[in-house]
Structure 1
Amino acid sequence: MTRLTTGMLEGIPADLVSYDEALKRGTGLGLFGIACNAAGVPKAKARRALLSTVAAVVPVTAGGGIIPGFSEAVREIIVHLGCRAFVTEKSDVGGLAEAVKNGADVVFMADDDLFAAFDLRRRRLVDNVNATAKGYVCALDALAGGLLGKAVLVIGAGRVGSACVRTLLERGSRPAVYDVVEAKARALSSECGITFEPDLKRALSRYSLIMEASGAPGVIEKGDVSPDTTVAAPGVPLGVSSQAVPLLKDRLIHDPLQIGVSVMLVMAACGRGEGQNIAERRT
């Protein structure tokens, strides 16, 4: 998992409303709409679930340590969607105990390898990688007026890119994959039965719908952008050069945290995480 920096998180709480409004203008959905669509949950049901859910964000010191502003940014995104949330005063196990004692239904925790939302009521978890892929594929679907039967180039065959490929297949699109490490792209291509693209520049000239999940800066350059190019970029840092960004205008979706956390929250609050429901275990 790419480690975020404080610089990437600055401004998220203050800009949430304006970011959400811009997202809604571009996709017609906004953060809540994207989260519900990605989770496969009707808006009314999701709204009821969020109103009855308390979320806690627990700082974690493992690995590279606590990223200043991360827990607070996650909390503000959760609150923005209409759910009660708090950041625990303690970290790690002490923070988890604090969350449980204070009635948390969903607990968000992240280290260098995993960012997850734990649904304590149902013993389920939502992995940020899968939630982010679902959210960005949903956003691209909205920008493109649907993805059914359409070809999409996925740049990056890592965890997020692989999750994007599987989500695109679920939506009936025709993904192709490129990775700077050719063996990774070939393996994903073989596993999922999709097209392998060996030449990035050539591929960018042939695909107008792109999922940029490489986690490398400036992968898509000014000369790669056509009037039809549409990019959903879950990769961090942004894989679109500063010269190319203005050319994409409202055909670019990218943020460091907002879409992924929104989808995680709705999935966790509505019991759409991984694991066996307690009720299922008793039957």
Structure 2
Amino acid sequence: MTRLKTELVEYMIDGMTSYNQVLKQKIGVDLAGLAMRTFHMSEADFDRARNCNRVAVVPITQGEGIIGSFSESVAAIVESMGFRVDVMPHTDVDGIYDGYQRGCNLFFFADDIRYLALNTKTNKASDNNYATALGFIEVLTALMERHGKDIAKEKILQIGHGIVGREAVQILKQRGVDFDIYDKDPQTLAGLSHKKLTGKEEIKDYRYILDFTNEGGWLKDAYLADAILYASPGVPYSMDEVAESRFEDRAVHDNLEIGTAIMLGEALQI
């Protein structure tokens, strides 16, 4: 997991209503709807899940320690999806014990290496790297549908082949999506049979983009075609200010929300 900073997550504590409204305008569903769509859950199924699961967010001090507002932000995301959730008053193992004492069965926790959701009723676990890749592929699919396009019939560009990007490659392959790929380090793409871009100037040839890079401001407006559709969980945001402004209505980017929502949805699966 990319180590977040407090200023990149604290807005979520009071901002989830606005976030969900904007997301729904762009892709047709909010976070709860995205989880239902991704895992083919009905509203009735999701309502039952809301009623029979209780969520604990456990602060973890391992490694570099607790990121300020991280646990509270995770709780705000989960609460915005209609679930009962509490941040545990204690950390680490003692915090997990707090959750058990409160009757929680769904636990969220993260250290420097992994951000995990664990359902103790079903022994189902969800890793944020996979969930983020899956979530943003689903977001781009929905965004394209909103604009009258079918991801199965179009060429996609994936940018970035790091931890999350590698997960995305496997999901796209499983779904039969036609995609090319770019990474600033060509060695990371060795062994992939898909077309590889030789330079970022070639990005302009694509209209539908998944971006899994985590370097801020490198994706200049000049590298992008008109009327692109774009989805990215990158922290910080790849687009420069000009590009971000130009494609505000045609791009979905966040720091934590979509990955967390998909973790919750996956952890609910049997």
- Hey, what's the Cα distance between the residues in 2 that align with 1:261 and 1:157? 21
Displacement, 1:35? 1.4
AA aligned to 2:152 is L
Report the equivalent of 2:229.
230
The 8 Å contact of residues 200 and 223 in structure 2, kept in 1 or not, is answered as no
Within a 5 Å distance, the mapping from 1:1-283 to structure 2 comes to 1-145=1-145, 146-187=150-191, 189=192, 193-202=193-202, 204-271=203-270
Displacement, 1:234? 1.2
Give the structure-2-normalised TM-score.
0.94
Displacement, 1:123? 1.2
Partner of 1:195: helix, strand, or coil? coil
AA aligned to 2:243 is A
- Hey, what's the Cα distance between the residues in 2 that align with 1:143 and 1:239? 19
The 8 Å contact of residues 141 and 147 in structure 1, kept in 2 or not, is answered as yes
- Hey, what's the Cα distance between the residues in 1 that align with 2:142 and 2:3? 28
Displacement, 1:147? 0.8
Root-mean-square deviation (Å): 1.4
AA aligned to 1:121 is K
Displacement, 1:267? 1.6
Displacement, 1:32? 1.2
- Hey, what's the Cα distance between the residues in 2 that align with 1:164 and 1:42? 25
CA shift digits 1:76-115 (9 cap, x unpaired): 1111111101111111111112112221111001001100
Name stretches of at least 5 consecutive residues in structure 2 with no aligned partner.
none
- Hey, what's the Cα distance between the residues in 2 that align with 1:57 and 1:256? 18
- Hey, what's the Cα distance between the residues in 2 that align with 1:85 and 1:3? 23
CA shift digits 1:237-271 (9 cap, x unpaired): 11111111011121110111111111111221233
The 8 Å contact of residues 10 and 70 in structure 2, kept in 1 or not, is answered as no
AA aligned to 1:18 is S
More displaced, 134-143 or 35-44? 35-44
AA aligned to 1:250 is D
- Hey, what's the Cα distance between the residues in 1 that align with 2:53 and 2:2? 28
AA aligned to 2:115 is F
Displacement, 1:43? 3.0
The 8 Å contact of residues 36 and 266 in structure 1, kept in 2 or not, is answered as yes
Partner of 1:86: helix, strand, or coil? strand
AA aligned to 1:194 is H
Displacement, 1:197? 2.0
The 8 Å contact of residues 147 and 172 in structure 1, kept in 2 or not, is answered as no
The 8 Å contact of residues 225 and 248 in structure 1, kept in 2 or not, is answered as no
CA shift digits 1:198-243 (9 cap, x unpaired): 22211x1111111111111123211123222111011111111111
Name stretches of at least 5 consecutive residues in structure 1 with no aligned partner.
272-283
Displacement, 1:150? 1.8
- Hey, what's the Cα distance between the residues in 1 that align with 2:214 and 2:69? 21
AA aligned to 1:22 is V
Partner of 1:227: helix, strand, or coil? coil
Displacement, 1:169? 2.5
- Hey, what's the Cα distance between the residues in 2 that align with 1:200 and 1:162? 19
The 8 Å contact of residues 148 and 173 in structure 1, kept in 2 or not, is answered as yes
The 8 Å contact of residues 156 and 179 in structure 2, kept in 1 or not, is answered as yes
More displaced, 215-224 or 76-85? 215-224
AA aligned to 1:5 is K
- Hey, what's the Cα distance between the residues in 2 that align with 1:37 and 1:205? 30
Report the equivalent of 1:275.
none
More displaced, 235-244 or 220-229? 220-229
